[in-house]
Amino acid sequence: MESENYGCKEARVDINFFFRPSGGKINEKKKLALLRALGHIELSGEAGGCKATCQSCLEYYMETKKKISDG
């Protein structure tokens, strides 16, 4: 799902788009944005937990999610 030119900058744009307020509705565009970002982060299961291939974007996702949840 991720193109070769999709990197951290694009993932962060998609993360911001996904968490942008929209009256509580998650439409197809938001779902696709989140899937692209998560595809970039690529969590892979390992013994004892998960490992992200892009730790900085995973941290950005978690920080953004926390800001929205605490807001």
- pLDDT at residue number 42: 85
The 10s digit of each residue's pLDDT in 12-50 is: 999 999 999 888 788 999 999 999 999 999 876 665 666
C-alpha 3/C-alpha 34 separation (Å) is: 14
Under 8 Å CB-to-CB from 36, ≥6 apart: which residues? Answer: 1, 2, 6, 10, 11, 14
DSSP string, 43-55: EEEETTEEEES-H
> Averaged over 51-69, what is the pLDDT?
90
The domain limits of the chain are 8-70
Greater model confidence, 3 or 24:
24
Question: What pLDDT score does 17 carry?
Answer: 96
Distance CA(22)–CA(63), nearest Å, equals 19
Instruction: With CA atoms as reference, report the closest residue to 39 among 69, 15, 63.
Output: 15
